[in-house]
Amino acid sequence: MLTKAFIEERKLARDSQFFMKTLAPTNSEGDLRFVLEKLGRLPSDFDRELLLNLLKHAHPSIRLLAVKNLGKLKDVMLLDAISKFANSETDTATRREAVSAIGRMRTPKAIPLLIEFLKDADPKVVLQAIRGLIIFKMRPEAQSALTELANHPNELIQDVINQELSAKTESKPEKQPAHPKSLDALKNVIVHADVRDVLSATPDESVHLTFTSPPYYNARDYTLYESYAAYLQFLTDIFREVHRVTKEGRFFVLNTSPVIVPRMSRAHSSKRYAIPFDIHPMLTQIGWEFIEDIIWVKPERTAKNRNGGFFQHRKPLGYKANSVSEYVMVYRKKTDKLIDWNMRQYDDGTVEASLIEGDYEKTNVWQIHPASDKVHPAIFPTDLARRIIQFYSFEGDLVFDPFAGVGTVGNAAAMLGRYFFLAEQEGQYVERAVWTIDASLFTNVSPKYLNLTEFRTILNKEKE
Ligand SMILES: C[S@@+](CC[C@H](N)C(=O)[O-])C[C@H]1O[C@@H](n2cnc3c(N)ncnc32)[C@H](O)[C@@H]1O
């Protein structure tokens, strides 16, 4: 039986008869695929004709593997053949592989060919051509062809071009503290004020993670907005500021759900607002990059029953689902740096102490029992905050909640060795937050309760 080891051995033995036999176009597609997939590194004298012949094979997967193997030879003499093949190839994955093979030759002779492929209708082919051209980006012809793509309609192409051609500013302005650090004036603080004022006093790039649950439009009675549009604008303004105060590449996690504003009378219908879906485009426009959609599922018995009428009449169009879920949307402050860059900011001890040990939820469906509070009508469970803080911050990080309520995020942050920074405009909730965190058996953190003036004064002192 043919094995990878045997193919390897035949390669070393320069057994051309063996390869003529196993790579004959008349062999079955399965056999050909097996050999082509197991060829591994090719000796520079490998018989190109065997592979070039397979570029005419009826099956695209064989053509793809053949051109992939030709690419491994990095032979400039093959440039014309591969380029002609790429131009006539109809299967897009195979064309992509052919352009990648041209790029991998790393020869200036490929520049004009790759520039032609920048006009391809398939964005993935264009991306492969960009990859091949980037190593020549200092050459004027490559640079001007790449620069022209800055306004390409495809967003991935735009991102790559902007990232590659913009001057890299690796070092941050000196006034920024080191990435893991945050101002002492913001640590374990609860500010009793409108969060808009709190944010306007907060310096750029201060916080590592924000986790929050904003007011639910006019569905609860603690906040009233003139209109849904005004409500979305209010949130957008705040989340733009949250973006400013968030450190590069760090996370913003938003818990919301569609809400119902009850009907005026039996002659009217109630209205449902899809808050997570309506706020999402606004967040991406601000510069938050979408990362995860986590669905928080509660036990069915805890959901409000909307099913009564339908249960009786069973008529189509009248179905109403009992809502047992909320959305926990995860965003990252857009950057061209990889997550690894953020991880590398921390010393080994901090990374070790922040590891998520044992079992954890592997899906995006999180079953968590809701929480209730005798003072606040809409708190989220500590377990939800705990998971988010563990997954998206390191020990010693600063976790922000602009709509802190009774301080669930603060409590969870303190339990996990993170600092918290909370804003809440209702005095009774602030008092409860201070009391809860202070009295917690799991921490010995005493929160600083500040009004806006005190907050500004403390911050200014530290900034001096
Ligand atoms: C859904 S609750 C958050 C509850 C919180 N997650 C908890 O577990 O306690 C939203 C909170 O935002 C607060 N809030 C609304 N508008 C605000 C504003 N402009 N500034 C600060 N807090 C505000 C409300 O008073 C309410 O407590």
Q: DSSP of 98-160, one letter per residue?
A: HHHHHHHT--GGGHHHHHHHTT-SSHHHHHHHHHHHHTTTTSHHHHHHHHGGGG-S-HHHHHH
| Enclosing H/E stretch for 341 | helix 339-343
Residues 160 and 195 in one domain: no
Decide: 405 in ligand 1 pocket, CB within 6 A: yes
- 377 domain-assigned: yes
Residues 86 and 214 in one domain: no
Decide: 426 in ligand 1 pocket, CB within 6 A: yes
Structural domain range at position 325: 184-305+319-463
Residues 86 and 235 in one domain: no
Residue 192 sits in a domain of what CATH number?
3.40.50.150
Residue 53 sits in a domain of what CATH number?
1.25.10.10
Residues 399 and 297 in one domain: yes
Q: CB neighbours (10 Å) of residue 149?
A: 21
Q: Quick one: pLDDT at residue 169?
A: 47
Residues 259 and 355 in one domain: yes
Determine the residue type at 45: D
How many domains is the chain partitioned into structurally?
Answer: 2
Inter-residue contact 240 to 233 (CB < 8 Å): no
Q: Which atom of ligand 1 is closest in space to residue 215's alpha carbon?
A: 10
Residues 279 and 362 in one domain: yes
Contacts 24+ apart (CB under 8 A), 446-449: 446/188, 447/188, 447/189, 447/190, 447/407, 447/410, 447/420, 447/422, 448/188, 448/189, 448/190, 449/190, 449/192
Q: Quick one: pLDDT at residue 223?
A: 59
Residues 206 and 244 in one domain: yes
Residue having the nearest C-alpha atom to atom 26 of ligand 1: 405
Q: Quick one: pLDDT at residue 255?
A: 98
pLDDT in tens, 303-338: 989 888 899 999 999 999 999 999 999 999 999 899
Residues 134 and 228 in one domain: no
Determine the residue type at 117: F
Nearest to 404 by CA among 440, 370, 447, 442: 447
Calpha distance 174→153 (Å, rounded) = 36
- Whole-model pTM? 0.84
- Dihedral angle, C-alpha 239, 244, 249, 253, nearest 10 °: -20
- 128 domain-assigned: yes
Q: Quick one: pLDDT at residue 172?
A: 52
Residues 161 and 191 in one domain: no
Residues 325 and 363 in one domain: yes
Candidates 403, 421, 434, 437: which one to mutate for ligand 1, based on the most atoms within 8 Å of Cβ? 403
Q: Quick one: pLDDT at residue 260?
A: 86
Which residues lie below 8 Å from residue 164, measured CB to CB, with a gap of 6+?
130, 134, 137, 146
Helix extents (H) in 211-259: 228-245
Residue having the nearest C-alpha atom to atom 25 of ligand 1: 426
- 15 domain-assigned: yes
CA of 405 to the centre of ligand 1 (A): 5
Residues 409 and 444 in one domain: yes
Q: Quick one: pLDDT at residue 139?
A: 93
Burial class for 122, CB neighbours closer than 10 Å (0-12, 13-18, 19+) = middle
Q: Which stretches of the chain score pLDDT less than 50?
A: 169, 174
Q: Extract the tokens encoding 295.
A: 């669905």
pLDDT in tens, 101-134: 999 999 999 999 999 999 999 999 999 999 999 9
Calpha distance 351→377 (Å, rounded) = 37
Residue having the nearest C-alpha atom to atom 14 of ligand 1: 403
Angle between helix axes 382-392 and 408-415 (nearest 10 degrees) is 50
Q: Count Cα neighbours of 72 within 13 Å in the Cβ-side half-sphere.
A: 19
Decide: 393 in ligand 1 pocket, CB within 6 A: no
CA of 197 to the centre of ligand 1 (A): 14
- 282 domain-assigned: yes
Domain end among 165, 199, 219: 165
CA of 136 to the centre of ligand 1 (A): 53
Question: Phi, psi at residue 273, to the nearest 5°?
Answer: -115, 125
Domain end among 119, 137, 165: 165
Residues 148 and 95 in one domain: yes
CA of 214 to the centre of ligand 1 (A): 6
Domain end among 133, 165, 197: 165
- 310 domain-assigned: no
Ranges assigned E (strand) in 147-304: 189-192, 207-212, 246-256, 259-261, 271-273, 288-297
Candidates 197, 380, 425: which one to mutate for ligand 1, based on the most atoms within 8 Å of Cβ? 425
Q: Quick one: pLDDT at residue 229?
A: 94
Decide: 223 in ligand 1 pocket, CB within 6 A: yes
